[in-house]
Chains A and B, each alone.
Chain A
């Protein structure tokens, strides 16, 4: 089966907006040096949603904070629209930061300001007049669907609403990029989906480039065009999301595309294979036809439907028979019928 093309127009054809070159970050804690990031090089194209995924402590937050110099890198550099962020003066940096909005897991709203005044905040910083700022802030609240709660304080809002206010605040100064550090990790699944949909809408309608940090493959699959997998401070793999999903090259990527319970340290079963097929066709015919055609029993270990960039895919993990000839028969059948299949037990 070939890689699915995206239905929307291809973003990222306008050239890079963020270029990370051989970036490293060393923390000195007492007398010991900790490398949080090593030799990171990434290019983020204008208009794309770029996901960065990794486990806790992998260095995701450090990386995103290096992009806007909240954390100055100790090696390498970050170019934003071709300008070296590390070479800017404090005042210049503050101006460039206005073109990169940032949202956080904990929302980080000003607790003593109303929703509206929170959105006004970045506009006040740049010296916009009070009336103009309020007007712009109202538009932004409208965009995120919260104009009715303009006068509410953050303590009176739900988590999802707080994140919407934070997004409105990040968008108010008309940024070119939006940096999202685990923006949905504090939210329930439904709210997560609505926030992700909002980020995608902003990306499509306003052409804002988004860098999305997460530890959940779901988030990457739902909205990202490209993904970088980061592990222990280095990039393990990077590419288009469907490419990484179909042909994960690194161990860590292979682990990310299936649930934890199937990881080899949790499961001691031989001859596991991963099957991917068009999610529009239901599971039964695919599996039933395979079994009927090959006359071989298979054991279903896992089956799910994945939503990758808005297209549904079926994914199954199957245990094949011990007999090599029998296995080959199944593989041949899959190849004939354009079912994408790969051995999985070696993860």
Chain B
């Protein structure tokens, strides 16, 4: 039953899934990082309080986060077509993935940045650090272990979303599971995709944990 064609199919699915996950994680991280930084510095006890900016962004992030992913994916189809020229395949999946994941990633990063000791921020201010210098030289490096940990969480969550996207034209392992497992009752293929997804999640998470530990200088 596991003939060469099938192995080939699973292999391609795995590569596609990893590709979508990594690309989406990257872009979600970039957008999430910008949003998180704005949230952290504009909050009332931040280094550049801007109540209006904070409220607007805060509500926007919450709104996007409360959209169920499948609905969001369908809702943004016109936008997806405009960005990548198509609504099926890997690249078309990346667009809604990023839109769905960026606010979530923004919250993760925001949490990490807020864990940075306020005293250290204050010390930097007392030394005459500018807002940018505090972001680049204090917030990011001091939050590094937590940020790495968060990015592993982000990647595994996005992996889950990408599998879901198989239901509405996305590629990768999710598509295989739906095509063979759901539409053709080939439970063995479904089983194989599930195992592969679990393995990818495990690898991502273990790597994330390892990198987090390795980068943290707080435990001697």
Contacts and interface: CB of A to CB of B under 8 A. Distances in A.
A106 interface: yes
B127 A108 contact: no
B120 A95 contact: no
- Classify the interface of chain A: helix, strand, loop or mixed: mixed
Nearest to A123: B127
Contacts of B130: 90-91, 94, 125
B122 A125 contact: no
A112 interface: yes
Interface residues of B, number: 25
Nearest to B123: A108
Interface in A200-253: none
B184 interface: no
Contacts of A35: none
B220 A125 contact: no
B128 interface: yes
Given A125-B133, A125-B137, A102 B217 contact: no
A97 B218 CA distance: 28
Contacts of A98: 127-128
Interface stretch (B29-37, B138-146, B173-181): B138-146
Nearest to A103: B123
Q: Size band of the A side of the interface?
A: 20 to 34
A125 B218 contact: no
A110 B128 contact: no
**Which of A90, A104, A125, A156 has the most B CB atoms < 10 Å from its CB?**
A125
Given A106-B119, A108-B117, A112-B144, A153 B137 contact: no
**Which of A91, A101, A104 has the most B CB atoms < 10 Å from its CB?**
A104
B3 interface: no
Contact of A173 (B127, B215, B219, B220): B127
A98 B124 CA distance: 10
A122 B142 contact: no
Given A93-B128, A112-B216, A126-B128, 16 more contacts: A70-B125, A70-B126, A94-B130, A95-B128, A96-B128, A97-B128, A102-B127, A106-B119, A110-B138, A111-B117, A111-B142, A112-B215, A112-B217, A122-B127, A155-B217, A155-B219
Interface of A: 68, 70, 90-91, 93-98, 100-102, 104, 106, 108-113, 121-122, 124-126, 153, 155-156, 166, 169, 173, 179
Q: What 9 A-B pairs come out closest when comparing CB atoms? A: A97-B128, A94-B128, A108-B123, A102-B126, A108-B119, A153-B217, A122-B127, A98-B128, A155-B218
Interface of B: 117, 119-120, 122-130, 133, 137-138, 141-142, 144-145, 215-220
